[in-house]
Amino acid sequence: ASTWAAPVLRHRAQVRRAGVRIDHDLAAAAPEAWSKDLDQVVVPGAGGFTEIAFYHKNSRTMVLTDLVLNLEPEKLPFIIRPAARLLGVTAPVGKAPIYLRMIIKRKHEQAKAAAERLVAFQPKRVIFSHGRWFHKDGTTLLRHSLAWLL
């Protein structure tokens, strides 16, 4: 299998220590191997942070990793729930954690353009690495989650 990752990820200490093999860096355009099925968008930030968002054309499904956290309060420890709500990272419509918003806003113009492109895909569904996914009304909910950037 060939592995792909966000640019600069291979240089992070924890990735090197773990011995994770990364064969290719993802770029602004999807590689030919999957460009017929998937579009991808780079959302840049400071300090080497880069989110790569994927959009599956046929199913109108978007996949994000850290750009939106939509944690389910009932699955969080009771003592953490108020802070998570206050930070805006809880379902039904979460957003990026505050530290990540600050990192991304350092490259505001490019990140805003990327966020506008994500919304322009008009996804039906949005799947996250962290929390409950948007199984319907994806465009509306994504726009709300990215309001801090748009």
Task: Look up the domain containing 100 and give its range.
Answer: 27-145
pLDDT value of residue 58: 97
Distance (Å, rounded) from C-alpha 15 to C-alpha 10?
Answer: 6
* 132: in domain: yes
For residues 39 and 55, is the Cβ–Cβ distance under 8 A? Answer: yes
* 14: in domain: no
* 4: in domain: no
For residues 121 and 58, is the Cβ–Cβ distance under 8 A? Answer: no
* 19: in domain: no
For residues 83 and 69, is the Cβ–Cβ distance under 8 A? Answer: no
Backbone angles phi, psi at 39, to 5 degrees: -105, 155
> Which token pair is 46?
């400071």
Q: How many residues does the chain have?
A: 150
pLDDT value of residue 145: 97
* 10: in domain: no
**What is the model's pTM?**
0.91
pLDDT value of residue 47: 87
pLDDT value of residue 7: 85
Question: Mind listing the pLDDT tens digit of every residue in the chain (150 residues)?
Answer: 899 999 888 888 899 999 999 999 999 899 999 999 999 999 999 988 999 999 999 999 999 999 999 999 999 999 999 999 999 999 999 999 999 999 999 999 999 999 999 999 999 999 999 999 999 999 999 999 999 999
How many structural domains does the chain have?
Answer: 1
* 15: in domain: no
* 22: in domain: no
* 150: in domain: no
